[in-house]
Amino acid sequence: MRKYIVKRILLMIPVLLGVAFLIFAIMTFTPGDPASIILGAGATPEAIEELQEKLGLNAPFLVRFFDYIKGIVTRFDFGTSYINGTEIRSEILMRFGFTFRIALLSMVFALGLGVPLGITAAVNRNTWKDTTSMAVALFGISMPTFWFGLMLSIIFALKLGILPPSGVGGIEYYIMPCLAVSMSGIASMARMTRSSMLEVIRADYITTARAKGQTEKVIIWKHALKNALIPVITQAGTTFGILLGGTLVSETVFSIPGLGSYMVTSIKSRDYPAIQGSVIFVAAVFGVVMLVVDILYTVVDPRIRADFSKGGKKKK
Amino acid sequence: MSEETKKNKDALLSVRDLEVVYTSSGAVVHAVNGVSFEIEKGKSLGLVGETGAGKTTIAKTILGVLPDPPAKVLKGEIVFEGRDLLKLSEKEMREVRGKKISMIFQDPMTALNPLISVGDQIAEVVSLHENCSNKEAAQKAMQMLEMVGIPADRYEEFPHQFSGGMKQRVVIAIALACNPELLLADEPTTALDVTIQAQVMDMISELQKKLNTSMILITHDLGVVAESCDTVAVIYAGEIVEYADKEELFLNPQHPYTLGLFGSIPSLTDDVDRLKPIPGLPPNPEDLPEGCSFHPRCPHATEACKKGVVSYVEAAPGHFVLCNHCKDCKKA
Amino acid sequence: MRKHSLKKATAAVLSTAMVLSAGAVSVEAEEGAPDDVKVVIASSSDPGNYLPFGATNSVRSQISNYFYESLFSGVYGGSGEMVPLIATGYERETDGEDSIYTITINENVHDSQGNTIDANDVAFCYNKILEFGERTTDMGELVSVEALDDYTVKMVINNEAITSFPWITETVYIVDQEAYEASESGFANDPVGTGPYTIKEWLPGSSITLVRDDNYWGKDLGYNNQTCKEMEIRFIAESAQVGIELETGTVDFAYGLSSMDAEQFRDRPGFAIDEEMFCQVRSIGFNESEDSLCSNKALRQAICYAINAEAIVQSVYQGKGGVPTSLAVPEPSMFADYVESWDDETVYEYDLEKAKELMAEAGYPDGGITLRLMTKNMSEYNSTCEVMQAMLAQIGITVEILSYENALYQSYRYDQTAYDMYICQVAPNYMPNIVGGLKWYMDQNTNTGLNTFFIHDEKLQELLNAALNYETGDEEALDALWQYSKEECFLYPYAYTYTSYVHVDGMEPFINWAIDLLPNCSTYSADWSRKAE
């Protein structure tokens, strides 16, 4: 097991290198240049060229890339922002703190509301409970986060006055952004849980459990759910990754200084180190999330656990 | 048959006039069409028939594990220990299942929960019905494992670590753990290979005799019936077409369908070029033929068979045949 | 109303060494105003850093002005008049092409940490700027700055323009050398200045809170620039949210809402809208290089006549604005060099017939050409481009609209193959001198010898130099420059507009057209509810 984890972590390195290379290339070949933005509208072409030289933008692509990677690997230094002058590393970590909070809370909503919704739908198949649950899910997935976020703000901040419209602070500042972001997560978790449960409920071992005289409740929660959760775990991992990216819209609407808005601002001002650092960071986080999901599988499913231990030998 | 059978007060289980249908998107499938039989304590009854004849449905109806939206019991009684199971509440049925009546399913590969250890799955049925601690339940589970020939130290292992035959033994252990009065075995060896089949059947028979459990053995294999059953009921299109003690049936089969079944068994001794299947196909349960359901395939069918009611004829004491011409068949 | 030239104005300042009586204060402290006012302002973006010596950045300047100060101030004086701040006065003499200024420094200046500021710090700051080199565009004429003694500084400016000295002394922040060198980030995120406020809390990307410095050295200057105890500036990106925050009372003042967003607050109890003229004129600039069809003067003029500026003001700006008569907004009080006679002129008034005639003259009697119109990707400009597209279609010109985000726009601006005309804003850039803004567009003293219109026009340069020059720059020179520009059709100014500032009742905002709102100079009523902790 440990070997597997180590192997996976090592595998992330070429992936991240690839991501770094890709984003570096995209930034280099995208029109628009940071020097003219730093200097502003009044800049002369000479001044711009001078600054480009100073920022090292005129060196050949591979040299710049190599230096960048070297900086990361040896000093864990992601460079300094062209616009801010601050260290990218600390800036990303601080911004990520906000994004992570939103993504995590949204995940809690997604799991806490989505999974039970899916179970209800599956267990009460083709009844009004099923139709309603799936309608809610459809609604959630169809609503654009931007619109929903503004609607929430108008309802809860403006009309009811119980939540602050935007900004950061205590937990009350995060409720609306998380609700807005989690809608699609709730929907996908509900649908996934429902279909997974429906499959599992028809399985033979469920009939065996019934034949033992087991109560429906235990059958659902112990026998069915445990098995149904396996595809749901995958979905949860992917959803979390999507949520990490999807918080951008919420951050804009609710003025939360998270990683998403940081990336957008950086892209607008062509702050190369910031963009590169953010992208690599998000890729790494996603990789870790996927690893955690895979490890969760082994915890939940003994068949997969067997693949990692000495091998599941079948005994006759 | 119900009027003619003497109501055996010693009968453990008595099924009368059972009718079960499946409804899905408007179409009605007549799975069980008026089945009645009895079984005594310690005896085993074989239900023989082709796939889709309704055998599994009968067993699941007895245990009350039919999937309720499509399946529906139209009429009938299932009297067990003086109570009609069809009229019991769900709570009362739960007390019966696993404890008084238990079932072994057809496919061992999918009958066990892949995420729970085999020992715990056995212990589960014990904890449900015996008033004992978890530890005691686990111990009983280990005993059962030994009883079915699996070392008790494999308690913690998971189903995927066992072969098909071993899995089936676990299923048997679960079924017998609470010492039930009646065991419903639904084609327990169909999914296993022949050598294992023999082992498992032997074990079932042995345990059955040891614990004095009654058994309803569902199978399509006449050989298994010959080995393990006391009485046999042949089922076709949801009805019992012939019912007799085992020797009587094998020595003196009457119903054209039964004759066809025996006739289609390949012979080990004779040198035959072609097998002799029963011509035609089993009827569509959504659209059963009028009159005798077998008449489209019966070489002796007459006009009376195509319409009109068929009733049971007692060809010999305790040997019932659902055919108007059985006395004539004998001659033929 | 300022009608005399800047020359006279600077003479006036020179002669008044006493600051207090210069009437620099435009806001009187209201009787009974509370002492612990906190005001919350919604702004749209975070400058990201507070580096004192980098390129000028309007977003950064807005906030920096609370804690950084410069030698002279163009803000506290009202209407851009230069008033003393860290410096007390100056003397000027010339030496050939050079202008030499001897500036006296106020002896009481110290920063918020208590470090005293003297001439050495001043010299340090200016030399740092020269060293970084990010301001060669706007301060290229500065040659050197050195401390003569503890409180005297000598500054040499080469080829001085009218705007040079005010700009150089008003936009450079003076900080203490030791404090600056002690900061790891170079004051990017921990600035220490001499201003009336210090940073209490800064959440990058979210908000910054400033608190009054009770040890502010300049209390006695009389500028009354500490009327509130705390200011919180919140960066709210989504304009709909700004409206919501105003309504729920979490924000007191909002910058630059679009007129549509601001309308909902009109005549609403508890709110007020202040409309101030926006100091920049919206114009079309032409690419006159050989790579563009717009090198043809008749074509340019045809375009100008074909555009109905009034219609644009009505449709895009809902009538909140007007058609300019020159390259300056018609608000003489904003400028030191506004030419009165411009009020009676017109610039290429809408005349479709004339436009068609000029098209024929240009060689396109039936039109049939395509021109690329470039703009920044902002909704008002996108709408404007669409309206222009329709108008120019009437004379047979097909307009291809190129709407770019800021980064791309900046890089294409210098590419003469990238566009034919573009939307721009002509502005004096916080200086009360129209000529300063024109210089940026018209000056040909660049590497390539071309100006932003991609041409080299000797006469234009001559007129520009004359208007800029310290000695010769006056109303006449400026007028001559404008008339020639109008003739040659370098730029076509089509609209001036108003900015709406929405705020809650109980505050009388001090709005300076260059820096926008100064909450620390605004007045608050006695029953102002939000208090600082």
**Which domain CATH number covers A108?**
1.10.3720.10
Q: Where in chain C is the domain with CATH 3.40.190.10?
A: 6-232+505-524
Strands C523-524 and C98-105: unpaired
Per-residue confidence in pLDDT tens, chain C, 533 aa: 333 444 444 444 444 333 333 333 344 444 566 778 888 888 877 887 888 888 777 778 888 889 999 999 888 876 667 889 999 999 999 888 899 999 999 999 999 998 999 999 999 999 999 988 778 777 888 999 999 999 999 999 988 888 888 889 988 999 999 999 998 888 888 899 999 999 999 888 888 999 999 999 988 888 888 888 999 999 888 888 888 888 888 899 987 777 777 888 888 888 988 888 888 889 999 999 888 888 889 999 999 999 999 999 999 888 888 999 888 888 887 777 888 888 888 888 888 999 999 999 988 888 889 999 999 998 889 999 999 999 999 889 999 999 998 888 888 888 889 999 999 888 766 667 788 778 888 888 777 778 888 888 889 989 988 888 888 888 888 899 889 988 888 889 999 988 888 898 888 888 776 667 788 888 888 888 888 87
Q: Where in chain C is the domain with CATH 3.10.105.10?
A: 281-497
> What confidence tens digit (pLDDT) does each residue in B181-220 have?
899 999 888 888 888 888 888 888 888 888 888 999 998 8
Selection from B150, B81, B157, B68 nearest residue B121 by Cα: B157
* Cα gap C476→C467, rounded to integer Å: 8
Q: Please report whether residue A102 resides in a domain.
A: yes
Residue partners of C281: CB distance under 8 A and separation at least 6: C324, C327, C328, C329, C425, C426, C427, C493, C495, C496
Of A212, A215, A227, Cβ closest to residue B115: A227
- Quick check: B243 and B314 in contact, CB under 8 A? no
Q: If residue C422 lies in a helix (H) or strand (E), which one and from where to where?
A: strand C421-426
Question: Where in the sequence is the domain holding A104, given as residue range(s)?
Answer: 88-258
Contacts 24+ apart (CB under 8 A), C239-247: C239/C44, C240/A150, C241/A150, C241/A153, C241/A165, C241/A166, C241/A253, C241/A254, C241/A255, C242/C42, C244/A153, C244/A154, C244/A157, C244/A158, C244/A165, C244/A166, C245/A165, C245/A166, C245/C42, C246/C42, C246/C271, C246/C502, C246/C504, C247/A158
For residue C47, give the chain A residue with the closest CA. A84
Residue partners of C394: CB distance under 8 A and separation at least 6: C306, C352
Question: Where in the sequence is the domain holding B187, given as residue range(s)?
Answer: 3-100+180-267+274-331
The stretch B284-294 carries a mean pLDDT of 82
Give the C window 432-471 contacts with A, CB below 8 Å: 440, 446-448
- Predicted local confidence at residue A36, as pLDDT: 78
CB-CB under 8 Å, A211 with B96: no
Chains B/C: 3 or more C-beta pairs closer than 8 A?
no
Query: Of A89-93, A286-290, C1-5, which gets the smallest average pLDDT?
Result: C1-5
A239 to chain C nearest CA, in Å? 26
Q: Please report whether residue A229 resides in a domain.
A: yes
- Quick check: B128 and B199 in contact, CB under 8 A? no
For residue C248, give the chain A residue with the closest CA. A158
* Cα gap C24→C81, rounded to integer Å: 8
* Cα gap C157→C145, rounded to integer Å: 9
Of C237, C244, C407, Cβ closest to residue A269: C407
Q: Please report whether residue A44 resides in a domain.
A: no
* Cα gap A97→A173, rounded to integer Å: 14
CATH number for the domain that contains residue B11:
3.40.50.300
Domain count of chain A? 1
Does residue B187 come out as left (phi exceeding 0), alpha (psi in the -120 to 50 range) or beta?
Answer: left
Q: Please report whether residue A51 resides in a domain.
A: no
Q: Please report whether residue B146 resides in a domain.
A: no
Architecture of domain C281-497: Roll (3.10)
Domain count of chain B? 1
The stretch B222-248 carries a mean pLDDT of 89
- Predicted local confidence at residue C121, as pLDDT: 92
The pair of three-digit structure tokens given for residue C357, joined into one six-digit string: 């005639």
* Cα gap B119→B170, rounded to integer Å: 9
Q: C203 contacts in A (CB within 8 Å)?
A: 168, 257
Q: C54 contacts in A (CB within 8 Å)?
A: 38
Selection from A285, A257, A245, A275 nearest residue A145 by Cα: A245
Give the C window 471-510 contacts with A, CB below 8 Å: none
Q: Please report whether residue A24 resides in a domain.
A: no
Q: Please report whether residue B326 resides in a domain.
A: yes
If DSSP states are collapsed to H, E and C, what string results for C383-407?
HHHHHHHHHHHCCCEEEEEEEECHH
- Predicted local confidence at residue A315, as pLDDT: 47
CB-CB under 8 Å, B96 with A312: no
In a 10 Å sphere around its CB, with 0-12 CB exposed, 13-18 middle and 19+ buried, how is residue C341 labelled? Answer: exposed
- Predicted local confidence at residue C530, as pLDDT: 84
Cα C272 to the chain's mean position, in Å?
Answer: 25
- Predicted local confidence at residue C12, as pLDDT: 42
* Cα gap C224→A151, rounded to integer Å: 42
- Quick check: B220 and B50 in contact, CB under 8 A? yes
CB-CB under 8 Å, B65 with A211: yes
Whether C241 has its CB under 8 Å from any CB of chain A: the answer is yes
Which of the four CATH numbers 3.10.28.10, 3.40.190.10, 3.30.930.10, 3.40.50.360 does domain C6-232+505-524 have?
A: 3.40.190.10
A208 to chain B nearest CA, in Å? 6
The stretch A278-291 carries a mean pLDDT of 88
Q: Which amino acid is at A182?
A: S
For residue B174, give the chain A residue with the closest CA. A212
For residue A316, give the chain B residue with the closest CA. B163
Task: Give the side-chain half-sphere CA count within 13 A for C459.
Answer: 8
Q: A94 contacts in C (CB within 8 Å)?
A: 204
CB-CB under 8 Å, B115 with A211: no
Chains near A, with 3+ CB pairs < 8 A?
B, C
Whether A223 has its CB under 8 Å from any CB of chain B: the answer is yes
Distance from the first to the final alpha carbon of chain A: 26
The pair of three-digit structure tokens given for residue B315, joined into one six-digit string: 């060809």
Q: A48 contacts in C (CB within 8 Å)?
A: 414
The stretch A134-152 carries a mean pLDDT of 88
More confident residue, A290 or B9: A290
The stretch B226-245 carries a mean pLDDT of 89
How many Cβ contacts (< 8 angstroms) between chains A and C? Answer: 141
- Predicted local confidence at residue C411, as pLDDT: 81
Chains B/A: 3 or more C-beta pairs closer than 8 A?
yes
Task: Give the side-chain half-sphere CA count within 13 A for B157.
Answer: 19
Compute the mean pLDDT over every residue in chain B, rounded to the nearest whole number: 85
- Predicted local confidence at residue C31, as pLDDT: 54
Q: A123 contacts in B (CB within 8 Å)?
A: none
Selection from A304, A314, A312, A313 nearest residue A4 by Cα: A304
For residue A203, give the chain B residue with the closest CA. B110
Q: If residue A236 lies in a helix (H) or strand (E), which one and from where to where?
A: helix A225-253
Strands C230-235 and C253-257: unpaired
- Interface predicted TM-score (ipTM) of this complex, two decimals: 0.82
- Predicted local confidence at residue C522, as pLDDT: 87
Of B113, B160, B165, Cβ closest to residue A223: B113
Spell C453-490 as b/e; 16+ CB within 10 A means b: bbbebeebbebbbbbbbbeebbbebbbebbebbbebbb
C358 to chain A nearest CA, in Å? 33
Of B103, B115, B154, Cβ closest to residue A211: B103
CB-CB under 8 Å, C411 with A33: yes
The rounded percent of chain B whose pLDDT value lies above 70 is: 95
* Cα gap B308→B290, rounded to integer Å: 8
* Cα gap A126→A137, rounded to integer Å: 15
- Predicted local confidence at residue B260, as pLDDT: 84
* Cα gap C503→C272, rounded to integer Å: 6
A46 to chain C nearest CA, in Å? 7
* Cα gap C194→C191, rounded to integer Å: 10
Q: B171 contacts in A (CB within 8 Å)?
A: 208
- Predicted local confidence at residue B123, as pLDDT: 92
Q: Please report whether residue B169 resides in a domain.
A: no
The stretch A3-10 carries a mean pLDDT of 86
Q: What DSSP designation does C28 have?
A: P
Q: If residue C271 lies in a helix (H) or strand (E), which one and from where to where?
A: strand C271-277
* Cα gap A272→A79, rounded to integer Å: 10
CB-CB under 8 Å, A166 with C238: yes
Unique residue bearing structure tokens 């990361």: A72
Contacts 24+ apart (CB under 8 A), A132-140: A133/A190, A133/A194, A134/A190, A134/A191, A134/A194, A136/A186, A136/A187, A136/A190, A137/A186, A137/A187, A137/A188, A137/A190, A137/A191, A138/A187, A139/A187, A140/A183, A140/A184, A140/A186, A140/A187, A140/A190
A308 to chain C nearest CA, in Å? 45
CB-CB under 8 Å, A313 with B113: no
Given pLDDT bands bounded at 50, 70 and 90, which one contains residue B101? Answer: very high
